[in-house]
Chain A
Amino acid sequence: MARARGRVATAGNVDVPDKMKNRIPVVLLACGSFNPITNMHLRLFEVARDHLHKTGMYQVVEGIISPVNDNYGKKDLVPSHHRVAMVRLALQTSDWIRVDSWESEQVQWMETVKVLRHHQSQLLRSAARMEGLDPDKPPSDLTAAPELKLLCGADILKTFQTPNLWKDSHIQEIVEKFGLVCVSRAGHDPQGYILGSPILSKYRHNIHLAREPVPNEISATYVRRALSQGQSVKYLLPDAVIGYIKDHGLYMTDSSQKGRSTQRNKGKTS
Chain B
Amino acid sequence: MEELERTEVVLLACGSFNPITNMHLRLFELARDHMNSTGKYRVVKGIISPVGDAYKKKGLIPAHHRVTMAELATKTSGWVEVDPWESLQKEWVETVKVLRHHQERLEAGSCHQWQNSPEQEKPSRKRKWAEPRQNSTQKKPLQPNTKAAPQVKLLCGADLLESFGVPNLWKSEDIARILADYGLVCVTRAGSDAQKFIYESDVLWRHRHDIHLVNEWVTNDISSTKIRRALRRGQSIRYLVPDPVQEYIQEHGIYSAESEDRNLGVVLAPLQRNIEEDAS
**Chain A residues engaging chain B, CB cutoff 8 angstroms:** 4-16, 39-40, 42-43, 46-47, 49-50, 93, 186, 213-219, 222, 231-236, 239
Q: A7-B250, A219-B218 are in contact. List 15 more A-B contacts (CB 8 A).
A: A4-B246, A4-B247, A5-B250, A9-B246, A11-B259, A50-B234, A186-B219, A214-B226, A214-B230, A216-B221, A216-B222, A217-B218, A218-B220, A232-B32, A232-B33
Residues of A within 8 A of B33 (CB): 231-232
User: Contact: A8 with B234, CB < 8 Å?
Assistant: yes
Q: Report B25 CB to chain A, min CB distance, Å.
A: 4
Chain B: minimal CB distance from A172 (Å): 32
| Given A217-B219, A218-B220, also A46-B256 (CB < 8 A) | no
Whether A12 and B240, one on each chain, are in contact in the complex, defined by CB atoms closer than 8 angstroms, is: no
Q: A215-B221, A235-B29 are in contact. Are A8 and B22 (CB under 8 A)?
A: no
Binding site for A on B (CB under 8 A): 22, 25-26, 29-30, 32-33, 76-77, 123, 217-223, 226-240, 242-243, 246-247, 249-250, 253-259
* Distance of A11 Cα from B233 Cα, bound (Å): 8
Among A12, A40, A93, A232, contact of B30 (Cβ-Cβ < 8 Å): A232
Report yes or no: B221 in contact with A9, Cβ–Cβ below 8 A.
no
Residue pair B222, A13 in contact (C-beta under 8 Å): no
A218 to B222 CA separation, bound complex (whole angstroms):
11
- Whether A9 and B32, one on each chain, are in contact in the complex, defined by CB atoms closer than 8 angstroms, is no
Residue of A nearest to B241 (CB): A9
Please give the distance in Å from A236's CB to the nearest CB on chain B.
7
Which listed residue (B22, B230, B246, B255) contacts A213, Cβ 8 A? B230
Q: A4 to B244, alpha carbons, bound, how many Å?
A: 8
- When C-beta atoms are compared, the residue in chain A nearest to B22 turns out to be A235
List 9 contacting pairs A-B, 8 Å CB cutoff, sorted by A.
Answer: A5-B247, A8-B236, A9-B238, A11-B228, A12-B258, A12-B259, A50-B234, A232-B29, A234-B77
Cβ-defined partner of A10 (8 Å) among B223, B231, B239:
B231
Query: Contact partner of B236 among A50, A186, A232, CB < 8 A?
Result: A50
A4 to B243 CA separation, bound complex (whole angstroms): 7
Question: Do B256 and A11 touch across chains, with their CB atoms under 8 A apart?
Answer: yes
Q: Which residues from chain A contact B240 at a C-beta distance below 8 Å?
A: 39, 43, 214, 216
Contact assessment for B218 and A39 in the assembled complex, using a CB-CB cutoff below 8 Å: no
Q: Complex formed: what's the CA distance from A16 to B218 in Å?
A: 33
Q: List the A side residues contacting B255 at CB < 8 Å.
A: 11-12
Taking the closest CB of chain A, its distance from the CB of B158, in whole angstroms, is: 15
Q: How far is the CA of A218 from the CA of B239 in the complex (A)?
A: 11
